[in-house]
Amino acid sequence: MIIIMEPSATKEQIDTVVKALRNKGFRIVLNQGDVMTVIAAIGDKRLVEPHSFQSYEGVRSVKLIQEPYKLASRECKQEDTVIEFSNGVRIGGLEKPVLIVGPCCVENDIDGLLRVADAAKEMGCHFLRGGAFKPRTSPYDFQGLEEKALEYLAIAREKTGLLIVTELMDTLDLDLVCQYADVIQIGARNMQNFKLLKAVGKCNKPVILKRGPAATIREFLLAAEHIMYHGNDKVILCERGIKGVDNTATRNTLDITAIPVIKKYSHLPVIVDPSHGTGRRYLIEPMAKAGLIVGAHGIMMEVHHDPENASSDGAQSLPIPMFKEVAKHLNKLIGRIDYDNKHSKEGVSIV
């Protein structure tokens, strides 16, 4: 249930509504905008007559949310969520799209990782991604260097200023990952690992949540809801491809339509991963451009200093020279998008 307060509503009037809802067992989330306050009441609406709150002083309207995801819904929060990071970078809304790049996993080669980080810095990226704990289909494949990988990523951050994105697979590793990472990634295989979602919901780190390979958009948003319900509203959604009819030509089917659909129904930022979405190096640039054109707030790409000998995902990783060319083209497109966004803020119509 959503209660929209009048712009003139006083703090006392807002507090009165909040107290009444809490007394009925509702969990409250306050969204206080520049103009008005929106109260999201999460709980069993059968406990109250929702429209009885219409008579409270300062209440403009009462809405019942139809979708099961509430906190992630635009009915709860109309304006876009914008997440700000320690280096001043912002993701979401009309902010300039960002590039998040790095190897699939951090290998026992700090020099190779630093080469990738230096290239990323040179091309204007703000985030370095790299796996320390790797979910692998086969138990015989490389599983990651764990804390040693996190230490390597920290060295790269110190040298370049890039913020670190790394995947969390187990609640037991949460404290360790939080010591090193600036952004926690929840991988596609763990999109519905509810204990893991609950754990990152209780921490204060931004979270990139990847869509599961067979997940509907509704299920995807409900996974984000689990994180937000436990207190962490800094969630970035990542479209990384779903299982399609023909997965011989590509690794997955990158669902570009998911970007505008998510933006219609949710206020959360959404980025695109064309590396996992296609599994093919030559498809990364065109699909990254497609993602930006339909409104993605960022692109996540795999980059490796020696893809042919990578421990994982070499076929979908860009070698550094190719990455620089791709980044150059994407930055040109991002510059145009940023120009359009600035003009849209000024009220100029964009066709």
User: What pTM does this model have?
Assistant: 0.86
Shared domain for 256 and 314, answered yes or no, is yes
76 within some domain: no
Shared domain for 115 and 263, answered yes or no, is yes
CA–CA dist 203, 232 (Å, integer): 7
Mean pLDDT of the chain: 92
Element (H, E) at 178: helix 174-180
**Residue 11's CATH number:** 3.30.70.1140
319 within some domain: yes
Task: Provide the pLDDT confidence category of residue 23 given band limits of 50, 70 and 90.
Answer: very high
Distance of CA 267 to the CA centre of its chain: 11
Rounded average pLDDT over 57-74: 88
Q: Does residue 134 carry a pLDDT above 90? A: no
Shared domain for 307 and 263, answered yes or no, is yes
Domain range enclosing 27:
2-63
Q: Does residue 102 carry a pLDDT above 90? A: yes
Task: Provide the pLDDT confidence category of residue 201 given band limits of 50, 70 and 90.
Answer: very high
Shared domain for 173 and 319, answered yes or no, is yes
Q: Are 269 and 85 in contact (CB under 8 A)?
A: no
Over residues 268-277, the pLDDT tens digits come to 999 999 999 9
**Residue 148's CATH number:** 3.20.20.70
